[in-house]
Structure 1
Amino acid sequence: MSETDVRAESVGTVVVAGAANLAIAVAKLVAGLISGSAAMLSEAAHSVADTTTEALLYLALRRGARPADVRHPFGYGKESYVWAFLAALFTFVAGAGFAITHGVTTILVHEHSGNYLISYVVLAVSFAIESVSLARAVRQIRGESRRWRTTPRRFLRLTADTAVKAVFLEDSAALVGLLLAAAGLTLSHRTGEELYDGLASIAIGVLLLVVAVVLAKANISLLVGRAIPERLRLEIEQELNELPAVERIDTLLTMQLGPDDILVAAKVDFRDEATGAVIEAAADEAERRLIERYPEIGYVFLDPTPSRPEARHRRARHTQEDPSQ
């Protein structure tokens, strides 16, 4: 699958999720206003936050895909993480903040109107629609994990495509939130106590808070300049070491420039007998091999490093391994 196909699939996943959340938000809002349920109104806020998030993620994918220019020679890939981070903040403020606040208010002062039927119907329909959106995200995650020869869980944890990660987490949280809302409504219906409706609203807010924090941390890491997963880095190092003119790779640095754009920079100790022409040919061959195997690699820089031990000690960059990879 080409980079264009992957990007188009991510855009499609975001659009489907956004359309589903918009329709669900309207239905939940109407049901919440008619029934007076705090959990339903919190679910409406949840869906509104998700819809806004999808809009920001769509903007992130579009703006991040712009080609490189003179002012931005490495492209605009990192801009996608800025918009995705703003989406996570919106979920935190609008979704979690409203749900928790409204839940507390309901417990203290709210009286339910007693009309539960419409809430149950909307919850059931919403669950079906959210399941369709989640199924598309799961299908993309499984396809991408096979392409990268890893498990879906590991792909989801390490992927630089925060759009599909956000859709998966938000749709999963939406389904859990619907179950929480249904539980709160049912308990309030049976007991006549609004405590359970309010507690369900607070639980939905805490759930949104967790999702927002996870997504914010992922985007901050990528904005700072995160390396590619360790297994992939080792495969790249092996490719470079297999070049006939290469004696040793002293330092290998990588960075995610965008969801499908990787930078590779290495200090390479070439064999003593290698001429300038041989080194130039090896550099071209290295770039060809790496891009052929990993189309996401957009830039490859090789720095010939003297073989003197003191030079290697002075110039090499030492990094601490990330145990999460």
Structure 2
Amino acid sequence: MTEADRQGQPSSNRTILVACAANLAIAIAKGVAALFTGSAALWAETLHSVADTGNELLMWLGLRQSRRRPDPAHPFGHGQERFFWAFLAALGIFLIGGLLSIGEGIRSLLNPEPLDDPWVGIAVLVLSAGFEGYSWHTARRQLQGDARRRRRSLPEQIARTSDPSATTVYLEDSAALVGIGLALAGVALHMLTGWPGWDAAASIAIGLLLTAVAVLLARRSKGLLVNESAPPDVLDRLQTIIGAPPWMRRMTELRAIFVGPSALLVLLTVEPVASLRTEPAERLLKDVDALRERLQGSPAVLEVAVTLIGPDDARDR
């Protein structure tokens, strides 16, 4: 585990725990309101909050699992546990939040029912928006801090970050706030028009929204799990650190993948200058070790491997 990862864990842990506590309270309140009102949109929102609570528990479990030290079976540590549990969380959003909400909306369309005590549902939704807003603000603040440190915009940080925890919570809570708005609209239009279809349509819209969020999160987690290359700005920073040392004729390849949040495995292929090929090997190895140490001094770099090639090998590449 890198120093950057250790520094990022307290904020990720707080973000997850805040979101979990908020969603658990919200799920209970929405469930009670759904029983009182019979609203399909409120049932969809209850399922949404239940899914979010379970997902935050999965993220917290992934955070704990990723803290284990490297061992012979996992020489680069357990950082990718975070990617795996984030992928499971995305599946939870899709199955519990997305598909069940769509199913509830379709059921309500086919078998419409009048609303009972709709003001109870509206009050719970407004209260839920406050809890979700606080959780959303916590996740956004962490993402903005990470984005500033990496000189990225917030959308770039969401798309490129190697820490799925804050991104998952932020997108979940963003979807939750939009979902609450849809549920409020569905209940209000049902009250005004007397047509239950508005409530059912809101439930279906919430399900489609959660399905879209699940796809976004699953795609990012999948990229990290299958060793997708580090983003261009990370490679550019590595290139700046490497520079142009006098012993290096050229670098033919620079590859980097995340083996955990803020934990890079860097692979270099370089051709040394011709004069060093006639010098003692110790001098070249000393230069290579100095380069490795300089790269590993970067907070995000966990391990560096350098491959030396001759001019014939360089032509083959």
State if a TM-score over 0.5 links the two structures: yes
Q: What percentage of aligned pairs have identical amino acids?
A: 37
**8 Å CA contact retained: 1:98, 1:205:** yes
* In structure 2, distance between residues paired with 1:21 and 1:93: 17
**8 Å CA contact retained: 1:241, 1:247:** no
| 1:301 aligned partner | 305
**8 Å CA contact retained: 2:55, 2:89:** yes
| 1:87 aligned partner | 89
* In structure 1, distance between residues paired with 2:250 and 2:104: 61
Q: CA deviation at 1:71?
A: 1.0
* Structure 1 letter corresponding to 2:37: S
- SS of aligned partner of 2:73: coil
Matches within 5 A, 1:1-325: 2-274=4-276, 275=279, 276-292=281-297, 294-308=298-312, 311-314=313-316, 316=317
Q: CA deviation at 1:5?
A: 1.9
* In structure 1, distance between residues paired with 2:145 and 2:284: 38
Greater relative contact order structure (CA < 8 Å, 6+ sep) = 2
Q: CA deviation at 1:279?
A: 2.0
* In structure 1, distance between residues paired with 2:12 and 2:196: 41
* Structure 1 letter corresponding to 2:17: V
CA RMSD of aligned residues (A): 1.3
Q: CA deviation at 1:182?
A: 0.2
So what's the TM-score if we normalise by structure 1?
A: 0.93
1:43-78 CA-partner distances (Å, limit 9, x unpaired): 000000000010011111111222211111111122
So what's the TM-score if we normalise by structure 2?
A: 0.95
**Count of matched residue positions in the alignment of Structure 1 and Structure 2:** 312
* In structure 1, distance between residues paired with 2:151 and 2:101: 40
* In structure 1, distance between residues paired with 2:248 and 2:314: 15
Runs (4+) of structure 1 moved beyond 3 Å? none
Between 1:228-237 and 1:177-186, the stretch displaced more is 228-237
**Unmatched 5+ residue regions in structure 2?**
none
**Unmatched 5+ residue regions in structure 1?**
317-325
